[in-house]
């Protein structure tokens, strides 16, 4: 798999810190939607094994991530095949899928509990979205924690060098 390497951007949403990543994917929105909301497909790119009750107010669970303890969240929005948003710990994750000529544009926005998590989380999402693209293309390495996944640390350093806030604890 060839990593995408587009870095995340630091943004503020209603005064709250966030990172945003955008990927152009050569797949129809319905295919991308399935990959980002079906737990059996999410295991190929998302850092945790998830369960989801796909409705606003529904529960999500997150488990089997070697860097974080099991937790649960709440589905904030669920509008197939366009938008899914949920809480994850004290963060929010918003995933938008828009049709475009030749495929889809996926925008992932992670609204952060703490500003200093920007570089850490953005680097992690780059790894995850590279795995998502590989999974959709049939070239994935087996998930963001696999030996074949893009190394996280150089991406973290690149985000710090790009000026994103940093300083949050680094897992592992």
Could you list the mean pLDDT of each consecutive 10-residue stretch along the chain, which spans 172 residues? Answer: 70 98 98 98 96 98 93 98 97 98 98 98 97 94 88 96 96 75
**First-residue to last-residue Cα distance in the chain:** 25
- Check residue 2 and give its pLDDT: 39
Q: Which residues of 145-159 are buried (b: 16+ CB within 10 A; e: fewer)?
A: beeebbebeebbebb
Does 4 fall in a domain? no
State how far the alpha carbon of 164 is from the alpha carbons of 22, 104, 133, 145, 161, in Å: 16, 27, 24, 23, 7
Q: What is the pLDDT of residue 82?
A: 98
Torsion 72-77-83-85 (CA) sign: negative
What residues make up the domain containing 32? 9-161
pLDDT at res. 5: 62
Structural domain contains residue 83 = yes
pLDDT for the residue numbered 140? 87
42 assigned to some structural domain: yes
Determine the pLDDT at residue 67.
86
Kindly state whether residue 167 falls inside one of the protein's structural domains. no
Answer yes or no: is 143 within a domain.
yes
∠ CA(125), CA(130), CA(134), 5° rounding? 145
Q: Which CATH number characterizes residue 129's domain?
A: 3.30.530.20
pTM of the model: 0.95
Determine, yes or no, domain membership for 2: no
Kindly tell me the burial class for residue 69, based on how many C-beta atoms sit within 10 Å of its own C-beta (0-12, 13-18, 19 or more): exposed
Total structural domains within the chain: 1
């Amino acid at each position: 798999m060839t990593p995408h390497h587009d870095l995340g951007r630091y943004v503020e949403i209603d005064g709250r810190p966030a990172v945003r990543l955008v990927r152009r994917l050569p797949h129809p929105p319905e295919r991308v939607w399935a990959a980002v909301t079906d737990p059996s497909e999410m295991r190929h790119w998302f850092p945790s094994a998830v369960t989801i009750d796909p409705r606003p107010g529904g529960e999500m669970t997150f488990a089997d991530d070697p860097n974080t303890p099991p937790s649960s969240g709440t589905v904030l929005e669920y509008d197939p095949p366009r938008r899914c948003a949920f809480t994850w710990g004290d963060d929010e994750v918003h995933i938008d899928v828009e049709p475009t000529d030749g495929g889809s544009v996926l925008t992932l926005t992670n609204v952060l509990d703490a500003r200093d998590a920007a570089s850490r989380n953005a680097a992690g999402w780059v790894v995850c979205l590279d795995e998502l693209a590989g999974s959709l293309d049939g070239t994935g390495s087996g998930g963001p924690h696999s030996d074949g996944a893009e190394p996280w640390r150089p991406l973290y350093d690149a985000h710090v060098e790009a000026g994103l806030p940093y300083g949050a604890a680094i897992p592992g």
